[in-house]
Structure 1
């Protein structure tokens, strides 16, 4: 019986590479904005690939790893079903606050894997000029690296904050930039900072 249960247990999804994450985000955006998946040629054009074979390679990996479902037709891609994301707690859009983890709530979102994403509730208004308000939920892709300009959840010691990430190499420090002209950036050394993930979506519940 145990062998049979193990055989049918859901395989954990492997982490996305940056390229795979961008392809998946593009497919997700197209599905939500147009109601249909992009063709391989459209994926090729979006990312400047020299051949649709490269687009097919990335799509095949996303299907094989459980992020996409393939149906008949050249626009037959669908997002894999997801049981929802864990709402891990609160992140500061302001001064860093103590990281609060509460695994009891689940946000019902299709197309995001709980293995590779999580959700946080925003506290504060430091990102208000990017239309991220107090009480909004942010969907965060789990990763420990980021690029300049990424909107990240960064941990400084035991505190977490939501900011744009910029390296200031001449000063050997990181600038965490708010999107609120009335607030100052946060500066810290690279070694004092941990990237918990990159924001890939914002959700505002009706009545919030």
Structure 2
């Protein structure tokens, strides 16, 4: 059973998702419920999460998804508006918030040349959601020019979908000897793994399978001017 404030907040989020497709900000929730601070909103959100009415979408700023609605909210839709104590939402559950920007973890720099250290530090990078598909992603700043013929330039941001396997011909983040990472085309060559550049000035790199661990597959590219 929900408290009155939990009930009001769930209705407010549901109405906003139905109207705009974007969940309200914590400031908007605070004002709508006449709360004194955002900490009260955090407590209500956590309580609704624990009761499996909502969930927070990972790597998305201010994104919430309605998982279910209480029976009394659904029933309110069939009552006359004058008798209903809450806003009347549609009977269907609102879709996930269509936020257009994601915050991806930004893990250092990766070589598009000879391998250099990567996965260091953890900042974040704002990325248009349209550039990404399903799955968990992270970003790496590209260093070097060995992938220029694939359109990947020094200073670009590689958007990487986490994965531990790859097919021949895919561009991957490969971790070499658990120490250095590089961005290359992945291919099998007999009993070896071959990492191919996209620049005729560079030679392919060959490693034993035990030396190479796939850390992800290239999902997109972001360039700042």
C-alpha distance in 1 between matches for 2:221 and 2:57: 28
In structure 2, relative to structure 1, the CA distance for the partners of 1:12 and 1:132 (3 Å cut) is closer
Gaps spanning 5+ residues in structure 1: where? Answer: 14-63, 70-78
Match of 1:101, SS state, is coil
Aligned-residue Cα RMSD (Å) equals 2.7
C-alpha distance in 2 between matches for 1:80 and 1:4: 21
C-alpha distance in 1 between matches for 2:167 and 2:193: 12
8 A Cα contact 2:103 2:124, kept in partner: no
Q: How many residues align?
A: 143
Counterpart residue number, 1:135: 155
8 A Cα contact 1:116 1:141, kept in partner: yes
Gaps spanning 5+ residues in structure 2: where? Answer: 1-42, 60-94
Give TM-score scaled by structure 2 length: 0.56
- Report the structure number with the largest CA radius of gyration: 2
8 A Cα contact 2:107 2:118, kept in partner: no
Confirm whether residue 164 of structure 1 aligns to residue 208 of structure 2: no
C-alpha distance in 2 between matches for 1:187 and 1:156: 11
C-alpha distance in 2 between matches for 1:12 and 1:115: 11
Counterpart residue number, 2:213: 194
Following superposition, the deviation at residue 103 of structure 1 comes to 1.4
C-alpha distance in 2 between matches for 1:100 and 1:117: 13
Counterpart residue number, 1:109: 128
